[in-house]
Structure formats: structure tokens, C-alpha cells
Amino acid sequence: MNKEVFFNSVFIIICCIQVNYAQVKLPKNYTSEIDVVYTLVNNWEGKMDLYISPNAIKPTPILINIHGGGWNHGEKESQTGFGSFFKNGYAVANIEYRLVEKDPAPAAIEDVRCALIYLYKNAKKLNIDTHKIVLMGGSSGGHLALMAGFLGNNSIFDSNCKYNEPIKVAAIIDKYGVSDLEPLLKWKSAINWIGKEVGNDQFVKSVSPINYVTKNSPPVFIVHGNDDPIVPYSQSVELAKKLLSFGVKTKFITVPNGKHGKFSDEEKRKVNIQMWNFLDDLDLKKNNNYNE
């Protein structure tokens, strides 16, 4: 067997392997709705998994979770660690979006905005509180969370999902996300995602969250390892600096010697405590309005 045939065979085998992810563990008072279609774009269905508490006494907060993967891979099924949010009475919308092989930028931003708008439109049916929407993502997912939240009522990327009511998320949890594409255009994933617009400075700025920061931006919790070999630590440093300069409530956690999301269990525990302290300060932690 020659090398070309061998490597082609290995590639086919790898592509055919189905990854079995852990199941999301739901509390007894929660129900799940899997693969809910939130948008349709040229025969592509954008889907989300919903974990909701329909019998809660009052509408619940909701976490919109966005997976990472350099805009070119990843799937919602890989995201299962929502236990602390369930304990604090949150519904969860775990979403997928168009990867670059389907459509380059700004498709992923458009999809996350559509997911957000879908939840606004269906809030009553889902028993969710649109004043308590939290966006969370890691890496490229962090970038998309920042974009969706910072855009607010700016409808520049909402052509697929029209909505005329106010949009204001309560908080963003940015885990080692991309805030500025311009310095990363030597990065293959960024180049591929920007696609034919590489070289168009105005377009690159338009898909960079840092350029949408204003005094009205939602509060942001940022965590980043200062030894991240993939998304430069400086991306979060500069974002935090700009947020603070506008007076936006911001908490920036540096994980010493932290790699790209690869933190020790102890560091993860510390980050989780500080995240919930941050949300508690925003009145986004559990209170007595929810059934056990």
C-alpha cells in the first residue's frame, strides 16, 4: 500500500468515527427540547438544544451557550457542563451555527443573533426572562458571544431574523475569546473565516467585538490564561482595558500559566466561584423564585 492510499484510508476512517459525548444531566424539574430549529438559511437549519424549567414560579434566566472551534469545527453536543446554571435556576440554549465550510464570515454572527432573537420571540412559551439573558462562549465561541451581545439593537447582521424590539443581554461570559480580528490575520482559522474579505479592513473591523464597545455595553466576565498559545492573552487585556475605559462593569480573571482553556481543576473551581460572584452582583444568581 503506497503512502497516498494509506493516508486517504486513515482520513476516511477518522471522518467516519462518531464521537459519543456525555449526556446533559437535567434536574427533575427540567425538560429538554433537542434540535429546535431557530433559523433556516438556504436549506441549512440552525438548531439549538433547549433545557428549560417550564413550571418555574416566574420566568427563568437563560444561558445561551456557544461552542468554540476556530469557526471551522465543533458541535453543540460537545457542550454538556451546565450543572451550576441548572442549580441557579437557569434555562439553557445550547446552539450550533454555520461553520466556515458552509459559509464564511459573517454567517456565524448572523446565526447567533438569530438564536438570540428566537429566544426573545418565544420567551413566553419557554418561560424565560428576557431581562436575564447571559451569553457564554469559549475561544471563537467567546468571540461570537461578544459580538451578539455588543451589537444590542444594531441590526447590521440581522437580515435573516428581523426583530424590532429592544435587545439587551444581561451579561457576557467570555472565555479566552477573540476580540479583535485585525492582529490575527496571520492565523489560518481567522483567514479562512474572513474568506474573500481578507484585505477589507472595514469588514474585518465590523466582525471584531472590540469595535462595538460603548458605555451601554453589557457587563462582561473575562477569563484567559496568560500562556495561551492559540488566542493571544493580549486579546482579553485590550478588551478589558476598553470596557473599563467606558465604565462597563468588567471582571477580568487571569489564569497564571494557563493554556487555551486547559486549566487545572483547582483553577476551574476558582474561576467558577468568581463567575457566580460576578453574576450575583448583577442579580443573576439563584433566588427564591424557582421551584426545586
CA distances for 119 relative to 54, 88, 129, 265, 288, angstroms: 14, 19, 10, 33, 24
Task: With respect to residue 26, please indicate whether it lies within any of the assigned structural domains.
Answer: no
Gap between the Cα atoms of 50 and 30, Å rounded:
10
Q: Give the tens place of pLDDT for each residue, 98-143.
A: 999 999 999 999 999 999 999 999 999 999 999 999 999 999 999 9
Task: With respect to residue 90, please indicate whether it lies within any of the assigned structural domains.
Answer: yes
pLDDT band at 25 (very low <50, low <70, confident <90, very high): confident
Residues near 131 by beta carbon (within 8 Å), at least 6 away in sequence: 168, 170
Task: Identify whether the C-beta of residue 209 lies closer than 8 Å to the C-beta of residue 179.
Answer: yes
Q: Percentage of residues in the chain with pLDDT exceeding 70?
A: 91
Grid coordinates given for 206: 465590523
Residue of 13 and 121 predicted with greater confidence: 121
Gap between the Cα atoms of 194 and 203, Å rounded:
9
Task: Identify whether the C-beta of residue 145 lies closer than 8 Å to the C-beta of residue 172.
Answer: yes
Task: With respect to residue 252, please indicate whether it lies within any of the assigned structural domains.
Answer: yes
Task: With respect to residue 2, please indicate whether it lies within any of the assigned structural domains.
Answer: no
User: On the CB side of 127, how many CA atoms lie within 13 Å of its CA?
Assistant: 17
Task: With respect to residue 98, please indicate whether it lies within any of the assigned structural domains.
Answer: yes
pLDDT at 3 over 50: no
**CATH of residue 265:** 3.40.50.1820
Task: Identify whether the C-beta of residue 50 lies closer than 8 Å to the C-beta of residue 32.
Answer: yes
CA distances for 32 relative to 48, 60, 249, 255, angstroms: 11, 15, 33, 34
Task: State the pLDDT at residue 19.
Answer: 61
Task: State the pLDDT at residue 81.
Answer: 86
Task: State the pLDDT at residue 21.
Answer: 76
Q: Give the tens place of pLDDT for each residue, 48-92.
A: 999 999 889 999 999 999 999 999 999 998 888 899 999 999 999
Task: Identify whether the C-beta of residue 236 lies closer than 8 Å to the C-beta of residue 174.
Answer: yes
Q: Pick from 89, 51, 26, 64: which is nearest to 287 by CA?
A: 89
Q: Give the tens place of pLDDT for each residue, 207-261.
A: 999 999 999 999 999 999 999 999 999 999 999 999 999 999 999 999 999 999 8
pLDDT band at 287 (very low <50, low <70, confident <90, very high): low
Task: With respect to residue 87, please indicate whether it lies within any of the assigned structural domains.
Answer: yes
Q: State the SS3 of the chain.
A: CCHHHHHHHHHHHHHHCCCCCCCCCCCCCCEEEEEEEEEEECCEEEEEEEEECCCCCCCEEEEEEECCCCCCCCCHHHCCCCHHHHHCCCEEEEECCCCCCCCCCCHHHHHHHHHHHHHHHCHHHHCEEEEEEEEEEECHHHHHHHHHHHHCCCCCCCCCCCCCCCCCCCEEEEECCCCCCHHHCCCHHHHHHHHHHCCCHHHHHHCCHHHHCCCCCCCEEEEEECCCCCCCHHHHHHHHHHHHHCCCCEEEEEECCCCCCCCCHHHHHHHHHHHHHHHHHCCCCCCCCCCC
Gap between the Cα atoms of 124 and 129, Å rounded:
8
The torsion angles phi and psi of 174, rounded to 5 degrees, stand at -105, 110
- As for how many domains the chain has, the answer is 1
Q: Which residue segment(s) compose the domain that 121 sits in?
A: 31-281
Q: Give the tens place of pLDDT for each residue, 32-48.
A: 999 999 999 999 999 99
User: Mean of the pLDDT values across residues 133-155?
Assistant: 99
First to last CA, the chain: 61
Q: What pTM did the predictor assign?
A: 0.91
Strands 31-41 and 44-52: antiparallel
Task: With respect to residue 4, please indicate whether it lies within any of the assigned structural domains.
Answer: no
Task: With respect to residue 223, please indicate whether it lies within any of the assigned structural domains.
Answer: yes
